[in-house]
Structure 1
Amino acid sequence: MNYRWTGPGIQFTTPDNVMRWAGTLSAGQQNASDCVVEAVNGKDEFLVWAVCGAGKTEVLFSAIEAALHAGKRICLATPRTDVVLELSPRLKKAFPAIDVMTLYAGSADRHGFSPLTVATTHQLFRFIEAFDVIIVDEVDAFPYSIDDSLHYAVHKSKKVSAATIYLTATPSKRMQRLYRSGKLKAVIIPARYHRQPIPVPGMKWSGNWKKLFLQQKIPPAINGWVSERLKQNIPFLLFFPSIQVMEQAIPLFKRLSPKLSIVHSRHPDRKEKVMALRNGMIPGLLTTTIMERGVTIDRLEVAVIGAEHEVFSESALVQIAGRVGRSFANPAGTITFFHFGKSKAMVEAVHHIQIMNKDAMKRGLLDE
């Protein structure tokens, strides 16, 4: 039996076996998947609050399959092009029997038409009441989190009766209030798919790091941390509060290893540098918050320099911590907040992760 979707002068045929994903879901994922299917069928507004590394993309597959079989048109939108480029091949692999359109600035698919679209939130300005289901991934990410026009674009692009699914590991305070007051339906996945707890950040005083960098010195605590990872051949990311401070510091770190490099939002070969780190060609990267999401590297460890800086919000610090311990083979690892004085955001980020681990244990989602 085939299912048919009809658009303006265009028809799509959806085969029975439209989804070819052969993986299995954890208990937490399966519960969330069932909830998302119900939300899509019920045309609801729904939040999936899933910790970093929970496998939230796979949670969507059954709902997308159900929507396709019901003749619905679906869009998975996200604020960042990097995430679009990471999600698109995964969806094409999971749904090989249909065309998956990929939209971002300069993409080749800009004039295509398909039942399943992956797009940046900026691309949604092009659509008017086009989608029966819209999924907004990384709903807390910049620039969507601060740009009301992008919220308007999402609203404009979906039909009045559309289901709206939000995904994030770090929902805004407003979203949390709506959930707790019962005004926004939600499901929480407090555990990663590998059933191991999220590594809890450690806080370490590093002195006046800004002054020491200006004096052409690496703070001793940070020097020791980096040297130990270099010695043990553990890949690492060092997060800095600004490009300026990072560029001041890189010559100092190159004394420890000339292979160390930097990445930031204006860096032309950011993807190549990340691939080099993943493949063991370079030992570590100095970065800004541009790398707080969408990075999965086995055995990776992370440190934040100047974690008390205002650029490191609770959300950013939770996301940064979420880069560590993401694989079955290596579910542990260290995340260190180096600081010259603890901030409220630092304390709240640690508390956030501890609460999720506690909830996961209580629900039997972690191995003893």
Structure 2
Amino acid sequence: MKYKGWLLPPAMRDFHEGRIWLREHTAFAKQDIQRAIARKYLHIIEGIQTTPRLKCNRCHNDKPQFFTLFDCSKCQRQCVYCRHCLSMGRVSSCSQLMIWRGPKAYRKRQHPLQWTGQLTELQQQTADELLESVKVCRSHLISAVCGAGKTELLFQSVHYALEKGLRVCIAAPRTDVVLELFPRFQKVFPQTIIHAYYSGAPKQDGYAQLVLATTHQLYRFEQAFDVMIIDEADAFPYSFDKTLASAVQKAKTAQAPIYFMTATPTQTLLNDFKHRSFIPKRYHNKPLPVPRFSSLWGYEKSLQRGKLPRKLKEWTEERLAKNEPFLIFVPKIELLKMATPLFQKLHDHILAVHADDSDRKQKVLQLRNEEIPGLLTTTILERGITLKNIQVAVVGAESTIFTASALIQIAGRVGRHEAYADGDVVFFHHGVTLAMDEARETIIYNNKIGFSQ
């Protein structure tokens, strides 16, 4: 006898479980979506809550300045939409958001961990403390200096959670951090479906028990994750945009704890966590490179006149002569655009990247593969990038965008590889700031603590 019922498409379940998704953006057949709604597999909610006040049900924005009225051609009346999460597709008062309430996807409990590395004593102690927190379902803060090996000490806890059938999310504010972590987790969990979500990410199939995502992508999840890990929790924009913290709370299950990791914890983070671990030195047991200060008076005017300041030119030429890859940080995109052709006179393969650069991923890969000598960059690469033998210069270190934590993170790019544990970090400035002093003193203090134990 021919079966006349409806069989749930597994791909629909795998895609929608744990997500909050615009109905009009579904990739599945309309009749299948309608049948899933009829069977109460998909729960429908309005895109914008209008009473008692305006609130976007996807990103939880409730600030009036981020809502805009428009004449809606779909419903032939005036509607309101949320500009806060517009880049992910317009959510309006006549939009419908779908949340999966149907059968759950199958969760594997065998996830072989293929990592042959060895944790240091401090790393192992922290990994054990984190694992204990995961087992008893309590939140935990890991504070570890740049290059301490935070990613590696996660493997033990992630492995435990996956084999308990839990769904794990590792989120970070920056795309570059996600791009850095994704291949590393794929390598150590080769039989686990892992998805990476960021702006422009390719389509990925199957049900991912381990998800790596930018914190912005968490707007699209609802009660999805049993274990929530936030990497670089103090970074912009997470530290600036309160809806991202709300997105984290929305994306995890009600009882799920949160695990924060950073090299530069804010005082608020330190105060918020009863259970904390601290690693004051790098895995290779070598001190953190200490930044040096070098005055670069009138550098902006020099660039505007089409000339590289002498000290900056000499520093770059020395890196080129020694065949040392480098990152040069500048405070503004306008300066980046002015400086790039001047650096390309020294070497035509020096490139530049910034947040809106669609080729950013490829350019970083070129530097990693030693296909180019160096990159000019804004603060977009202050975190989440590990390159052996990298040298770093900051131009305009006195600029307000270079906070103490940003400068610590930038300095932390240098000396991460065991074979190249030293390197040059120079802060070119038009006057030393408190942030510069704080960054340098913090690094010196961490070295003192790390090597007094």
Q: TM-score, normalised by structure 1?
A: 0.90
- Distance verdict in 2 for CA 1:98–1:275, change over 3 Å: closer
Q: Distance in 1 between matches of 2:200 and 2:341?
A: 35
Aligned-residue offset at 1:324? 0.6
262-271 or 322-331, which moves further after superposition?
262-271
- Distance verdict in 2 for CA 1:133–1:205, change over 3 Å: same
Tell me the residue number matched to 2:116. Answer: 22
Tell me the residue number matched to 1:9. Answer: 104
Aligned-residue offset at 1:104? 2.7
1:267 matches 2:357? yes
Q: Distance in 2 between matches of 1:184 and 1:32?
A: 15
Map 1:198-347 onto structure 2 (within 5 A).
198-347=288-437
1:97 corresponds, among 183, 191, 195, to: 191
Partners of 1:101 and 1:109 within 8 A in 2: no
Query: Unaligned stretches of 5+ in structure 2?
Result: 1-101
Give the 3-state SS of the residue equivalent to 1:338 in structure 2.
Answer: strand
Tell me the residue number matched to 2:90. Answer: none
Aligned-residue offset at 1:86? 2.3
Give the paired residue count. 352
Q: TM-score, normalised by structure 2?
A: 0.74
Equivalent residue letter for 2:350: L
Partners of 1:237 and 1:301 within 8 A in 2: yes
2:210 corresponds, among 104, 116, 141, to: 116
- Distance verdict in 2 for CA 1:211–1:142, change over 3 Å: same
Give the 3-state SS of the residue equivalent to 1:166 in structure 2.
Answer: strand
- Distance verdict in 2 for CA 1:274–1:111, change over 3 Å: closer
Equivalent residue letter for 1:46: H
1:137 matches 2:227? no
**Higher RCO structure, 1 or 2 (CA under 8 Å, sep 6+):** 1
Partners of 2:108 and 2:163 within 8 A in 1: no
Larger radius of gyration: 2
Aligned-residue offset at 1:120? 1.9
Which of structure 1's runs of 4+ aligned residues deviate more than 3 A?
A: 105-112
Q: Distance in 1 between matches of 2:432 and 2:241?
A: 29
Give the 3-state SS of the residue equivalent to 1:167 in structure 2.
Answer: strand
Q: Distance in 2 between matches of 1:33 and 1:342?
A: 38
Equivalent residue letter for 2:138: D
Partners of 2:221 and 2:251 within 8 A in 1: yes
1:188 corresponds, among 278, 301, 309, to: 278
- Distance verdict in 2 for CA 1:97–1:274, change over 3 Å: closer
324-333 or 87-96, which moves further after superposition?
87-96
Q: Distance in 1 between matches of 2:173 and 2:303?
A: 33
Give the 3-state SS of the residue equivalent to 1:11 in structure 2.
Answer: coil
Q: Distance in 2 between matches of 1:108 and 1:214?
A: 39
60-69 or 123-132, which moves further after superposition?
123-132
Partners of 2:180 and 2:385 within 8 A in 1: no
Query: Unaligned stretches of 5+ in structure 1?
Result: 1-6, 364-368
Tell me the residue number matched to 1:43. Answer: 137
Q: Distance in 2 between matches of 1:188 and 1:117?
A: 25
Aligned-residue offset at 1:223? 2.0
